[in-house]
Structure formats: C-alpha cells, structure tokens
Amino acid sequence: MKTAPQTFHRFTQPIKTLAQRFAFLGLLLLAVGTMMLGKVDIILLEKARYQITDALTPLFDVLSKPLESVNRTVSDIEDLFRLRADNIQLKKDIERLRMWQTVAQKLQAENKNLRRLLNYVPDPKTSFIAARVIADTGGAFAYSLLLNAGLREGVKKGQVAIDGANLVGRIAGTGNRSSRLLLINDINSRIPVNIGNNRMPAILTGRNSEILRLTRLEPGAKPEPGERVYTSGHGGVFPPGIPIGVVIGEEDGTPTVRPFINRNRLESVRLIDYGLDGIVQPPTPGKTLP
C-alpha cells in the first residue's frame, strides 16, 4: 500500500519542479499576449469606427442640407426685421430733414430779403493757389520764405498766405516763377487784429522772433493769457476772422502772442486772393515800418 503513493510521488515530483521553473516565464508570456490582444482590439475598433463614419457620411451630408436651409431662412428673416427697423428710422429721418429743409428755405428767403433791404454787398469770391516752400533764406527780410509759385501761376503781391486755417503772412514780392512770403514774425509785419470774444482792437507786430507783440491797444485794455487773436479786417489787406495766435502774457508791459504757425515746419502754404482793394505798401528792406 505504501509503495503506490511513493511511486506516484516519484513520478509527479519532476513535473512540479518543471512547472515551478517555467511559471514566471509563462506568466510573462501571458501578460505580453494580453497586451498585444488589447492593441489589436484598439486598432480593430478604430478601423471599425472609421468604416462606420465613412458609411454614414453621405447620410449626414443629406441631413445637414435642411439644417443649412433652416439657418439661412432664419438669417434672412432676421435681416428682414432689421431692414424694416432701418426703413422706419430712415422715414423718420426723412421727415425730420424735410422739416428742416422747409425752415432753411424760409430762412434763406428771409436772409435774401433782409440783404436786399440793407443794400448788402457780399464778400467777393475767393480763389487760392497752393505753393511749396523751397527756401528759407531771409534775404532782405529776417523772416521770409521763398515759394515756387509766381506771376505765371497768378500770384500777386499782397495775397494772404495761410497754413490750414492759420495766418502765415502775405506776399511781399513776386517773380515769374517764384515769390517772397513775408511772415508775421518779421519786424516789418503790422497786422490789425481783434483779441478775444470782446474783439479788443490792437496792432500785432513782428519782432524777428517766435513771439509777437500787441501794440496800439485802447487805454486800459489788458488782454488776458489764453485769449485768441484774429485778423480784424481793418485796412483792407487781411479779411476778418483769420486765426493768428494766442496771448501768453506780457514782456516789459507789452502783451505778447505766440502764433499758431511754426515756420520751421512749413512745407506748403495756400495763397488766398480775397479780392480786397487795400493798399499794400512794399516794406523797405532794413527799415522798420512805423
């Protein structure tokens, strides 16, 4: 009886030993196989997904067209509502403009009638010539510029030069192809002006510097810093209302003005022919005007 179990144990012992030796290797192979199986499954799933997507793409395309049509229709309806609102607003604007047109026509007729009653003489029509600064050579005058336009282009002595809306000076002499612009900074420049909203009269004089002076003020008149200076139109040389500069203070009891223009930055000017009949006497080089 004892011999049989011992014989069985003798035969199974080598099998157990072999199984123990290769157990680790078997488990390792099983793990690798499981991983490979998972990879294969993912690839298969991806391929299947793409195949299903490719098969359903035509269906999605067909279904998307009605949605696009619906979206387009909704957008068109919104545009129609916006157009309707804009149309209503435009009609209101037209009615308001028609009302103002009626008021303007009435005022225009009234203005014409008043001018006729007052024997009003309208200002002459103005024309201008654009000229470019080609030199800053002073010459006989300390503050003057040479322009590339002359008699050939219609430039005349006494014409007003402006930069934008600000006064630059006046034409002191002309040639066939060039002209000399006398700046407001020159010591020979004398301009009748009004100061501030009170239209305080004075004479603006150049002093061969960037700062100008106000002279011939009324007794007791004292311009305040910040007040603007404009041409008054007296003398018939400059038309009224051209901006020149702003009062900045006093120097030796004389009010001073800083002009709006900067001669170092002047590249081009407009020469305005206002059709004025004022007498412009040519300044004498080297001599100061009274």
Q: Tell me the per-residue pLDDT of 20-75, one tens digit each, with 9 for 90 and over.
A: 666 666 667 766 666 665 555 566 656 666 566 666 566 656 665 666 666 777 77
Pair (31, 106) in one structural domain: yes
For residue 80, name the pLDDT band (cuts at 50, 70, 90): confident
Q: Are 247 and 195 in contact (CB under 8 A)?
A: yes
Pair (191, 224) in one structural domain: yes
Average pLDDT over residues 191-198: 91
Report yes or no on 49 lying in a domain. yes
For residue 274, name the pLDDT band (cuts at 50, 70, 90): confident
Sequence-distant (≥ 6) Cβ neighbours of residue 57 within 8 angstroms: none
Report yes or no on 236 lying in a domain. yes
Pair (163, 140) in one structural domain: yes
Q: To the nearest whole number, what is the mean pLDDT of the chain?
A: 78
Report yes or no on 209 lying in a domain. yes
Q: Judging by beta carbons within 10 Å of its beta carbon (0-12, 13-18, 19+), is residue 248 exposed, middle or buried?
A: middle
Average pLDDT over residues 95-110: 80
The token pair at 28 is: 């390792």
For residue 2, name the pLDDT band (cuts at 50, 70, 90): very low
Pair (143, 197) in one structural domain: yes
For residue 205, name the pLDDT band (cuts at 50, 70, 90): very high
Pair (39, 166) in one structural domain: no
Query: By C-alpha distance, which of 279, 242, 243, 241 is closest to 157?
Result: 279
Average pLDDT over residues 89-118: 79
Q: Are 208 and 283 in contact (CB under 8 A)?
A: no
3-state SS, residue 156: coil
Exposure letters 275-287 (e unless 16+ CB within 10 A, then b): ebeeebeebeeee
Q: Which amino acid is at 222?
A: K
Nearest-angstrom CA–CA distance, 275 and 123: 9
Residue scoring higher pLDDT (188 or 277): 188
Report yes or no on 114 lying in a domain. yes
Q: Which of 79, 103, 122 is the last residue of a domain?
A: 122
Three-state SS annotation for 30-46? HHHHHHHHHHHHHHHHH
| CATH for 241 | 2.40.10.340
Query: By C-alpha distance, which of 250, 252, 251, 239 is closest to 278?
Result: 239
Domain count along the chain? 2
Strand 179-183 to strand 212-215: parallel, antiparallel, or no bridges (unpaired)?
A: unpaired
Pair (75, 180) in one structural domain: no
Check residue 44 and give its pLDDT.
63
Q: Which of 67, 92, 122 is the last residue of a domain?
A: 122
Report yes or no on 193 lying in a domain. yes
Check residue 1 and give its pLDDT.
47
Check residue 223 and give its pLDDT.
93
For residue 135, name the pLDDT band (cuts at 50, 70, 90): confident
Pair (110, 184) in one structural domain: no
Structural domain of residue 266, as residue ranges? Answer: 127-273
Q: Which of 122, 140, 159 is the last residue of a domain?
A: 122
The token pair at 9 is: 């144990």
Report yes or no on 290 lying in a domain. no
Report yes or no on 279 lying in a domain. no
Pair (184, 256) in one structural domain: yes
Pair (114, 190) in one structural domain: no
Check residue 288 and give its pLDDT.
44
Check residue 264 and give its pLDDT.
83
Pair (135, 19) in one structural domain: no
Nearest-angstrom CA–CA distance, 282 and 173: 8
* Whether the predicted pLDDT of 287 surpasses 60: no
From residue 26, alpha-carbon distances to 18, 38, 68, 227 in Å are: 12, 18, 60, 104
Q: Are 146 and 135 in contact (CB under 8 A)?
A: yes
Q: Are 248 and 258 in contact (CB under 8 A)?
A: yes
Fill in the DSSP letter of residue 164: T
Report yes or no on 285 lying in a domain. no
For residue 143, name the pLDDT band (cuts at 50, 70, 90): confident
Sequence-distant (≥ 6) Cβ neighbours of residue 82 within 8 angstroms: none
Which range of 4-18, 20-34, 164-178 scores highest in mean pLDDT? It is 164-178
Check residue 190 and give its pLDDT.
92
For residue 121, name the pLDDT band (cuts at 50, 70, 90): low
Average pLDDT over residues 226-243: 88
Pair (155, 114) in one structural domain: no
Pair (25, 78) in one structural domain: yes
